[in-house]
Structure formats: structure tokens, C-alpha cells
Amino acid sequence: MSEIENLKYQIALSLIPGIGLGNARRLVQALGGIKPIFDANEKTLKRIPYIGEIKARAIIRSDALVRASEELEFVLKNDIHYVSFWDDHYPQRLKRCVDAPIMLFWKGNIQFNTEKTVAIVGTRNATNYGRDFCDGLVRDMAQRVGYTVISGLAYGIDVAAHKACLKNGVPTIGVFAHGLDQIYPRQHRQVAERMLDSGGLVTDFISETKIDRQNFLRRNRIIAGLADATIIVESAEKGGSLVTADIADSYNRDVFALPGRHIDLFSRGCNQLIKSNKAAMIETLDDLEYAMSWQQTVDKPTKIQKQLFVELNDEEQRIVDSLNEAPLYIDQLCSIVQMPMGKVSSVLLALEFKGLVASLPGKMYKLT
């Protein structure tokens, strides 16, 4: 059987309802491969331990092969990278997780098995305290060797971590809760596209997957599973990042949390993790490296600060001039510079990467 034909059956197996990694491994072991699963009759299937009648019928009646053929076409047409659990190049850290995905798809230049892989996640409602911590932590990572940062490309802390990586030259991976045919949220498209050069975008979902809350909780296992350690930067007492912390802990991975004032809503979750000994406190990169027993190899320092003399095009200059007096909301900027929202967002992102502009909560921007 050709590699492409084998890929179709691998994708199909991942699409059958109720057949997770554990059952998939039992089926492959019992029948000697993936294709025989789809050739077997119901009687043969239900004899396999833990499969039973319901799952056997699900396999027989599934249209997974039809959908897999469609997805195969999408993967080949769009140069999507792929790997199944049985392949040698499946990510080593993720392979040790009991609920690892059967299939993984990605775009970009991702090195899954780098020396130090860290997940940075947190609230969508990030404060300046959380954003500044991300910037400082990643800036210090850039002066050390072997770091890759993983997050979920969501609003708030996630995208702050990705942006900090892009500014400082640290590889970063965004994990999607949908297929690679879309980017959500759409406002982060430019960030996502820049991540493809050093890092990339990864998912276990196929194309045309609907945006669904449950999928975001499911993708958190991949964020935690790909990382040696997970850092919760800011979180209320309930939130998706706390779910990621629980998953990381269940994988016996280290969890860290940034402490904050007890009166701050988005520090309460982190403080609770620390108080309950579910996370170690982190204030600097040295805290992480000491706890992880990582050799503190310092690379040649690269100063990523605001440049004194930066060449700006006319549109960038207009926005910088408009922000000279005080921070402005993006709709105020649009009105002042007489440019559409999409264009202003694009220019602001470019200025962020040049170290001239910083984003604030509520889509407000200021000069650095």
C-alpha cells in the first residue's frame, strides 16, 4: 500500500466516533494494521477487547473513509505536513500522553523535539502586568539556547506570548482548535502567518471543523502534551488555562504560575494554583531553569529594544504621529488617520514588531 493510501486510512481511523488512541492501538494490534480495521466484519471487531458491539457498529457504519478521502485532497493540495501516532517522527513528548491524537497536521517550520519547549497560556483579558511578564520572559529566552514557546493564538496572554517570540526571534507554535483551512480569531492572521517562518501552526482537527467551545478544551491537551513545562501567566478562578494546567499535571509535566495581588481578578487563579501546590511560582526565567534543571547556556545577547532610528513609511509615520500625545483606541486612530480598520491593524502590528508601539487591553495602543 502506498504512503498516500495509508494516510487516508490513518485519517479515517482518527475520524471514527468513540475510537480514541487507546482503542485504535488495540484494533491495530489485533488486526495487524489500519486498513484491516475497515475490511473486518462486525463479528470480528466486537471480539476485540474494549471494542464491543457499539464501537464495532460505529466502525462498520462510519463514512470516515469518504471524509478521509476529501481531507487527503486538502492536505496534498495545501502542502500540509502530517504524522500519525505510529510514525517515527511523531512528537516525542506528545507520544507519552495517554490521550495523544492519532493524527497531527501542521504548517510551517516546526521542530517538535527542541531542547526546551514551554507552553505559555493565560486569560483572554490580559493586563499590562501579564503582557510585560511575557515580553520579559521571552526576551530572556532569546539570550539562552534551545527554547520553543507553545500557545493557542487566542486573545490576551496567548497572542502576547506569540508576539513576544516574533519580536525576539524565539520559535513559537500555535495550536488550533479547528482545521488548517482557517485562522481563528481572524484578527490574528498576520501573527499566524509570521509564525510560519520560525515555528508554525498545528492541529489534530481536519478542515471545515466548526468553531466550537469544546474543541478549545480538547486542544489544550496538545498544548500541554507538546511542552516540558506549562506557565500560567494570568487567570481568573475559572478558565481554560487552568484546564491546561490540570492536563499538564496529569501528564506529570511541570506547571508554573505567575503570582499577583490577591485583589486582582486575573491573578486569583494563578495564586490558587500556587497555594494548592499545583504550580510552582515563577517570576523570572531563572526560576524556570532552576526548577527544570536546565543548563543555563547563555547565547550572545541580542538587544531587542526600540531602535533610535527606524525607517517608517508614510502610513506608519501617520500613526506614530497620532499616538504622540496619548494612547488611542483603534477606532480613534482610524478616524484620525483616515484609514480602514484592517489597514490600521496591519500597520500597528508592523510597528509592534519594530518595538515602537505596544497594545493595551481594549484595543488601545500607545508608543513605547
User: Is 96 a member of any domain?
Assistant: no
Whether residue 147 is found in the same domain as residue 263: yes
Whether residue 210 is found in the same domain as residue 173: yes
Whether residue 329 is found in the same domain as residue 281: no
User: Is 249 a member of any domain?
Assistant: yes
- For residue 7, what is the domain's CATH number? 1.10.150.20
Whether residue 138 is found in the same domain as residue 247: yes
User: Is 277 a member of any domain?
Assistant: yes
Q: What is the pLDDT of residue 165?
A: 96
Last residue of a domain, one of 31, 59, 77: 77
User: Is 122 a member of any domain?
Assistant: yes
Whether residue 50 is found in the same domain as residue 147: no
Q: What is the pLDDT along the chain (368 residues), one digit of tens a residue?
A: 788 999 999 999 999 988 999 999 999 999 999 999 999 999 999 899 999 999 999 999 889 999 999 999 999 999 999 999 999 999 999 999 999 999 999 999 999 988 899 999 999 999 999 999 999 999 999 999 899 999 999 999 999 999 999 999 999 999 999 999 999 999 999 999 999 999 999 999 999 999 999 999 999 999 999 999 999 999 999 989 999 999 999 999 999 999 999 999 999 999 999 999 999 999 999 999 999 998 665 554 444 444 555 788 888 888 888 888 778 888 888 888 888 877 888 888 888 888 888 887 667 788 88
User: Is 24 a member of any domain?
Assistant: yes
Q: What is the pLDDT of residue 304?
A: 44
Domain boundaries, position 342? 314-367
Which three-class secondary structure state does DSSP give residue 181? coil
User: Is 101 a member of any domain?
Assistant: no
Whether residue 206 is found in the same domain as residue 340: no
Q: What one-letter code names the amino acid at 262?
A: H
Whether residue 115 is found in the same domain as residue 249: yes
Whether residue 159 is found in the same domain as residue 268: yes
- For residue 352, what is the domain's CATH number? 1.10.10.10
Report the C-alpha gap between 7 and 74 in whole angstroms: 12
- For residue 161, what is the domain's CATH number? 3.40.50.450
Report the C-alpha gap between 92 and 171 in whole angstroms: 18
User: Is 357 a member of any domain?
Assistant: yes
User: Is 98 a member of any domain?
Assistant: no
Report the C-alpha gap between 155 and 166 in whole angstroms: 16
Q: What is the pLDDT of residue 309?
A: 58
Give DSSP secondary structure letters for 94-108.
HHTSTT--SEEEEEE
Return the closest-CA partner of residue 110 out of 91, 97, 93: 91
Whether residue 60 is found in the same domain as residue 114: no
**Sequence-distant contacts of 290-295: CB under 8 A, at least 24 apart:** 291/229, 291/254, 291/256, 292/116, 292/228, 292/229, 292/254, 294/115, 294/116
Whether residue 112 is found in the same domain as residue 227: yes
Domain count, the chain: 3
